[in-house]
Structure 1
Amino acid sequence: MCGRYATFGPVSLSREAKTVRDQLELDIVSEINQREDHFNIAPTQRALVVSRGEKGYEAKAFRWGLVPSWAKDPKIGAKIINARSDSLVPKPKPSFRNAFAKRRCLVPASGYFEWKGESPNKQPYFIHDPAGHLLMFSGLWEGWRASQDEEWTQTFTIITGKPGKVSGDIHDRQPVILPPDLWQVWIEGSPDEASATLVAAP
């Protein structure tokens, strides 16, 4: 799972990521550098998410922990901080069905945390790109409100899949980290195209 992650500046982008950034017309580096550093983002806190709105791609702060639109109590979000990739493919679970079809997003990160060992001596590891480049996790988002008279609350979840070589000996799952050439595919592609991106990062 992914229970803690971080975003802090200054961040950098790989050459491939810069090309995609220009295509998206969204300067995610400036968005992150203009905000406060977050070294330990926890569930239910607000964090930056990249989604597609009416005016194109945008970066906004959503609350971590998905609350389906049909939920009666927003507290359910604390239990849905992650969505297992195998709960989306081949058939999404009800909690994720609408979001997977219509509201996929990217979650920018400098890196994420995993712990190894037994309490009280668990060892934390911060897993990040060795060059310091920004990572993009695949995610889903939803809007929720208690009644039609109240404002919408935007929430999100991070998708997890099989671990890569770096984190495999620490935990059996990791966030799905998308390479730049799949950012648009994940957000704008069909459900079948999006499903194909849910593989572990190299």
Structure 2
Amino acid sequence: MVLEELEVDIISEINQREPAYNIAPTARGLVLGHATGGFETKLYRWGLVPSWAKDAKGGAKLFNARSETVATTPSFRNAFRKRRCLVPASGYFEWRAEDGAKQPYFLHHPEGHLMMFAGLWEGWRASPDDDWLHTYTIVTGEPGKVSADIHQRQPVILPPDLWRVWMTGAPDEASAVLAAVPEAELTYHPVTKAVNSSRNQDSGLVEPIGRDRPA
């Protein structure tokens, strides 16, 4: 299954927006979700705010959801049942301790293909008279052979044949997706420590520094 089969031209959506090379929690990011009559892309804030939250402050901490407990954790279980989405990304950053310091790496598909992370979205508002705040979180799981070099967790990267069932399937089907996700192809290289500030958004952030480290 490819994006065309979902009748979503997400590449055009991405190209129409300002490039974002360093999206951080509380920033707005593109998500693909199931809507009445099909699928659509939206810009939601990264960091999920549960519908029952008293305020939106806690969303900054709920930017990831563990795949092992996402179906039962109070902050995520309602969204897991009804509001699953895909989060498109060209890659992601992780830091590794080296020689007493931390070095960031950019992890991505070896051929630069767009990846789809498993995600959840939620709507929240302070009162019935307020506008809705839409937020999302990225589901993480155990690392693969490549990403384990850098970090003990990685985003759940879904192959095309699991996109539709993740977004539209019943909760037990979604749980089966998380249990059966194949290892994604990844490679990585070291990048500038400028990624530590979300104010930096230029394309140089994903360029390798020093020796490239292939998978």
1:67 pairs with 2:49:
yes
Q: Which has the larger radius of gyration?
A: 2
1:129 pairs with 2:131:
no
Which residue pairs with 1:176 in the alignment?
156
Deviations 1:8-29 (A, max 9, x none): xxxxxxxxxxx52121100111
Deviations 1:119-153 (A, max 9, x none): 97211110001111100000000000000001111
1:85 pairs with 2:67:
yes
| Cα distance in 2 between the residues matched to 1:149 and 1:67 | 18
1:36 pairs with 2:15:
no
SS at match of 2:148: coil
Aligned with residue 154 of structure 1, among 122, 134, 151: 134
Aligned with residue 37 of structure 2, among 33, 38, 55: 55
Q: Which runs of 4+ in 1 moved over 3 A?
A: none
| Cα distance in 1 between the residues matched to 2:162 and 2:6 | 12
Shift of 1:200: 5.5
| Cα distance in 2 between the residues matched to 1:108 and 1:48 | 7
| Cα distance in 2 between the residues matched to 1:116 and 1:137 | 21
| Cα distance in 1 between the residues matched to 2:54 and 2:99 | 35
| Cα distance in 1 between the residues matched to 2:56 and 2:46 | 12
Alpha-carbon spacing, 1:60–1:113, altered in 2? closer, same or farther (3 Å)? same
Deviation larger for 91-100 or 139-148 = 91-100
Identity among equivalent pairs (%): 67
Structure 2 gap ranges (5+): 185-215
| Cα distance in 2 between the residues matched to 1:78 and 1:84 | 16
SS at match of 2:135: strand
Shift of 1:162: 0.3
Normalised by the length of structure 1, the TM-score is: 0.86
Shift of 1:39: 0.7
Which residue pairs with 1:12 in the alignment?
none
SS at match of 1:38: coil
Structure 1 gap ranges (5+): 1-18
SS at match of 1:131: coil
> One-letter code of the match for 1:61?
L
Deviation larger for 96-105 or 116-125 = 116-125
Which residue pairs with 1:15 in the alignment?
none
SS at match of 2:175: helix
Shift of 1:95: 0.9
Give the number of aligned pairs: 182
SS at match of 2:149: coil
Deviation larger for 33-42 or 91-100 = 91-100
Deviations 1:42-91 (A, max 9, x none): 00000000011123200110000000000001011011000001112xx5
Alpha-carbon spacing, 1:121–1:200, altered in 2? closer, same or farther (3 Å)? farther
Aligned-pair RMSD on alpha carbons?
1.4
Which residue pairs with 2:124 in the alignment?
144
